[in-house]
Structure 1
Amino acid sequence: MANLALFDLDHTLIPTDSDHEWGRFMVKLGIVDATSFAEQNDRFYADYKAGKLDIHAYLVAMLTPLAKYSRAQLKTWHDQFMHEVIRPAILPAALELVREHKEAGDVCCVVTATNEFITAPIAEAFAVDKLIGCEVETVDGHPASGFTGRPTGTPSYREGKIVRVEAWLASLGKTWSDFEHSYFYSDSHNDIPLLEKVTDPIATNPDDTLRAHAQQKGWRILDLFQAS
């Protein structure tokens, strides 16, 4: 029986927050107002860490600038973002963790509250075929069309991660019980609902709140980026 391996992304597989870094990158490119957007981006990030993020407001703020540009232009910028910001941050320990699960034949999926535009190339860099991220609405619903600047569907945030994972499993004709082991790796206390759903929760590079919760529950704690 195959197992299920779920991975959060930001500060779990990569030692940075791709959503926050993309916001900083847009400021660098000059496609958003440097002062007001940077302040807003930092405020949303602080709210996320505090567990009080308004996910819809955040998604609108992050996605609205994308509607102004073609998919080709956005891809060019994202390629630059991957080259300058993300790929240098990907560490061997994280790649090896994912590789071990893939080689074991586990069904692997990245489950992140960051939107799919930002995260799809990052999941690809980890060779994970399935990504569950906050969905980005496209013009007339066509995948190749430009973005409307609005989110769509259930945000993969907090309990929404459970909703999205279960919908994906259902599309495969599966439920949690079809897996002897279901793993979820996450750094964030925002992910406690999904961590409590799986058979094998792993607090990975956990924030202080999650570390304390994991210790209380007797969960495994993995400091993936700990200096040797």
Structure 2
Amino acid sequence: MEAVCVASWRGRDKSQELERLAELAGEASAEAAVAMEIAASNEPPAPPAPPDLTAAAFFDVDNTMMMGASIYYFARGLAARKFFTSADLVGFAWQQVKFRVGGREDKETVRSSREQALSFVAGRTVKELTEISEEIYDELMAEKIWSGTRALAQMHLDAGQRVWLVTATPIELAAIISRRLGLTGALGTVAEHVDGVYTGRLVGDMLHGRAKAHAVRALASREGLNLKRCTAYSDSQNDVPMLSAVGTAVAVNPDSGLRDVARARGWEVRDFRTGRKAAKIGVPTVLGAGALAGAIAVALAHRRR
């Protein structure tokens, strides 16, 4: 009986620690996002719509705003710049194929792939990574944006609302994606850095699952948002905490789990993967990722021989 009690307490302690790390990640992401907004370019903006200061929209990135996983494109770009080997990229390519074909995130896969990617930047400077991320966006991401989701974001901007990306991708890359799309800012995973140099560790945890909800709440508190007037968009069942934190939730290109939740809760569903466009763009993207993984595997096999 005593052993059962000890196991129960350990399980409870682990759950509390995970929640603490998720909350820390959310707080860190919100703080960094606000700081980036303040430090943004001083270029004169376009004439704004009459501001709606208490409403905003929050968009997931992977398979919601962008076809496929942003961390995969990020890894490809880093590999091209010799941050790591082709063998490391095989794992990223295979995860991308599974994500694009299945349309579903696995929590442990998300955690391991993003932690692996972030570990490769240890010892690099924030300035260097930011400059490289700009290049990677132009090379690999710009053409992967879902036009339908981009139009939804523009709808909120036209209504005078702020629009934020919310993603497990490093916040530096997320901020670039947001800026290139003309959005307000981004909430993303915060990698620890000291004197402008990455340590290879995270602040709290990945901005994933419950951490996204913590980040949205923290940002709302800082920015004076009324979450009941806010809208959130995502493709993944893992983002149900974030979707549940706002007044309006929309499932975009949903996985089967989120589709079931949306149906049960009466949430709107938008799917941009079907029809002629999906056939022309989506399938080649999947095949391209698979071909990349295969080509690298063959090259490695020849090298071993």
- Smaller-chain TM-score bracket: 0.7 to 0.9
Residue of structure 1 equivalent to 2:159: 104
1:154-189 deviation line (CA, Å, top 9, x unaligned): 53211111111111111124452xx4x321110111
Task: Assess, with a 3 A threshold, how the Cα gap between structure 1 residues 205 and 49 changes in structure 2: closer, same or farther.
Answer: closer
Q: How does 1:58-207 map to 2 (within 5 A)?
A: 58-140=113-195, 145-176=196-227, 179=228, 181-207=229-255
Q: 8 Å contact 2:209–2:239 — kept in the other structure? A: yes
* 3-state SS in 1 of match to 2:246: coil
Task: Assess, with a 3 A threshold, how the Cα gap between structure 1 residues 79 and 38 changes in structure 2: closer, same or farther.
Answer: same
Task: Assess, with a 3 A threshold, how the Cα gap between structure 1 residues 76 and 196 changes in structure 2: closer, same or farther.
Answer: closer
Q: Which moved more, 1:61-70 or 1:128-137?
A: 61-70
Q: CA deviation at 1:73?
A: 3.7
Q: Which residues of structure 2 form unaligned runs of 5+?
A: 1-51, 277-305
Q: 8 Å contact 1:24–1:38 — kept in the other structure? A: no
Residue of structure 2 equivalent to 1:32: 84
Residue of structure 1 equivalent to 2:49: none
Q: Which moved more, 1:115-124 or 1:212-221?
A: 212-221
Query: What residue identity is the alignment partner of 1:21?
Result: Y
* 3-state SS in 1 of match to 2:190: strand
* 3-state SS in 1 of match to 2:121: helix
Q: Which moved more, 1:112-121 or 1:60-69?
A: 60-69
CA distance in 2, matches of 1:150, 1:17: 21
Task: Assess, with a 3 A threshold, how the Cα gap between structure 1 residues 44 and 126 changes in structure 2: closer, same or farther.
Answer: closer
Q: CA deviation at 1:63?
A: 1.4
Q: 8 Å contact 1:15–1:225 — kept in the other structure? A: no
Task: Assess, with a 3 A threshold, how the Cα gap between structure 1 residues 10 and 147 changes in structure 2: closer, same or farther.
Answer: same
Q: TM-score, normalised by structure 1?
A: 0.83
Query: What residue identity is the alignment partner of 2:250?
Result: I
Query: What residue identity is the alignment partner of 2:213?
Result: I
Residue of structure 1 equivalent to 2:31: none
Q: 8 Å contact 1:201–1:219 — kept in the other structure? A: yes
How many residues align? The count is: 221
Task: Assess, with a 3 A threshold, how the Cα gap between structure 1 residues 45 and 119 changes in structure 2: closer, same or farther.
Answer: farther
Task: Assess, with a 3 A threshold, how the Cα gap between structure 1 residues 89 and 57 changes in structure 2: closer, same or farther.
Answer: closer
Q: CA deviation at 1:98?
A: 1.1
Q: TM-score, normalised by structure 2?
A: 0.64
Which structure shows the higher helix fraction?
Answer: 2
Query: What residue identity is the alignment partner of 1:69?
Result: R
Query: What residue identity is the alignment partner of 1:159?
Result: R
* 3-state SS in 2 of match to 1:53: helix
Q: Which moved more, 1:104-113 or 1:74-83?
A: 74-83
CA distance in 1, matches of 2:244, 2:216: 14
Q: CA deviation at 1:6?
A: 1.0
- Matching residue within 262, 266, 271 for 1:214: 262
- Counting aligned pairs with the same residue, the percent is 24
CA distance in 2, matches of 1:189, 1:214: 9
Which structure shows the higher strand fraction?
Answer: 1
Query: What residue identity is the alignment partner of 1:152?
Result: V
Residue of structure 2 equivalent to 1:16: 68
CA distance in 2, matches of 1:122, 1:182: 21
Task: Assess, with a 3 A threshold, how the Cα gap between structure 1 residues 67 and 185 changes in structure 2: closer, same or farther.
Answer: same
1:11-32 deviation line (CA, Å, top 9, x unaligned): 1111121112212332333321
Q: 8 Å contact 1:44–1:58 — kept in the other structure? A: no
- Of the two, which has the highest radius of gyration? 2
* 3-state SS in 1 of match to 2:269: strand
